[in-house]
Structure 1
């Protein structure tokens, strides 16, 4: 199943292009990568690159790829495409994808479609379907919204990450309180004569707390994957650029 993510970003097309094509900018907002570096290339050749992701403090998974872009198209859109391969320790073996930049009024529809082949036979295919592919889809959408916050509101990727962590901790505390009744016992002791009323209200308070933690929309400054479209509104055909790239070595 091809992964598709789309975000509408109110930003200048050239600025969006720069934030996504420059490796030092790209690695700041895209949670899927820790490092991205362009490799030397001759004039007229596709751009080769090296990337790495720190999975654990002591484990770094790297890979290489080839990319090409069409900055000027007759319809005013832009396209960037790539092919990539990963380290043998990675579940992801090789794949290809594209980014499209479609001007839309006062903003840009920034969308991606990509697919890859998992390793490790039947086990790898199952792990990919159950865990890895949904995680990759979430990470891509979350990163796209993080980029949107940077361009639209000036919230840096680093600040957006801390906003997300703080909100996640708050929601976790609310869920813990709702499930364990933490703090309600003390509330009953403090209310004295009104304790019976609060005793019967405790389940309602827990339900409200749980509902807010799970269902409340993310704060405006917090990146959220749910803000991105996960299926195309119309049939989308992959651009021809990926087919012109050589397989990465």
Structure 2
């Protein structure tokens, strides 16, 4: 087994123990909210007391899938606590994971059920596999945490995993669109090709006489940085408020310097309105949007 730090994820869900147990132990329900699995199938038992074996499938893109096998090792059921431990392995040639083990723990509290998991695994491909795991393991941890929050929203708010995934996809696309536009507008017309028209517009304002090129360059760098912020801070409503205010200021400034721009195709007014619309939609979409940040990723020292 890997000597690296195991993956740990914990969340608090306001629901009933039996309901949470069903949503996590029934394969047809489990596979709906867990990003890590496209399909989970229980295998028939030869004897009633035998461990439960199951097959799992993970999609890795481009029509490729990885198949693996798992086994429920032990289940402990107490009055206010349950633990389900398992081990898993994959012989698929594309699977980075050779074998692993972990557990799910359910603890009833006055605030709800503390639902947590901890698991680890060994990798194949030698040193290359260890290098790949530097990226893969944090990605697995993020996928586990996002899935736990998706499950929480399903149980607490009735928001289906399909809806959560669609809203998350919209958020990702909109974030990249806003990031791309800001980065492009900063890099191309302000840093690389100032003669394309931006410099002439700035000179028309009469401001920064003799320093127009330097100011345009600084403004372009700031726009590139602001665009990159949407890739990391797109979940914060205040970033979109700043975006809306900045767009209005830049749009008014551009149209004031040259009103004929209103007649141009894809002019600043249409671009500004489109970007403002994106930010408004993203603000509305932020409520009850699943996030890995809503889960604990480190075990409390007191435990």
Normalising by structure 1, report the TM-score. 0.82
Q: Does 1:27 align with 2:31?
A: yes
- The answer to whether the aligner puts 1:126 opposite 2:131 as a matched pair is yes
Question: Superposed, which structure 2 residues align to 1:1-249 within 5 Å?
Answer: 1-41=5-45, 42-70=47-75, 72-74=77-79, 76-89=80-93, 90-128=95-133, 130-181=134-185, 210-211=228-229, 214-217=232-235, 219-234=286-301, 236=303
CA radius of gyration, larger in: 2
Spell out, residue by residue over 1:31-65, the C-alpha distance to the aligned partner (whole angstroms, 9 max, x if none): 10011011111111111111111212432211111
* Number of corresponding residues: 234
| CA distance, structure 2, for counterparts of residue 119 and residue 207 of structure 1 | 39
Pair 100,179 (structure 1): closer, same or farther in 2 beyond 3 Å: same
- Tell which has more relative contact order, 1 or 2 (C-alpha 8 A, sep 6+): 1
Structure 1: where are the runs of 5+ without partners?
237-249
Question: Which structure has the highest strand share of the two?
Answer: 1
Give CA deviations for 1:143-177 in whole Å, capped at 9, x if unaligned. 11111111111110111001000000111112112
Partner SS state of residue 181, structure 1:
helix
- Contact 1:174–1:210 at 8 Å: present in 2 too? no
Instruction: Output the TM-score relative to the length of structure 2.
Output: 0.68
- Structure 2: 5+ residue stretches without partners: 191-197, 209-215, 237-285
The 8 Å contact of residues 171 and 214 in structure 1, kept in 2 or not, is answered as no
Give the secondary structure class of the aligned counterpart of 1:97: strand
C-alpha RMSD of matched pairs (Å): 2.9
Distance 1:224 1:105 in 2: 24
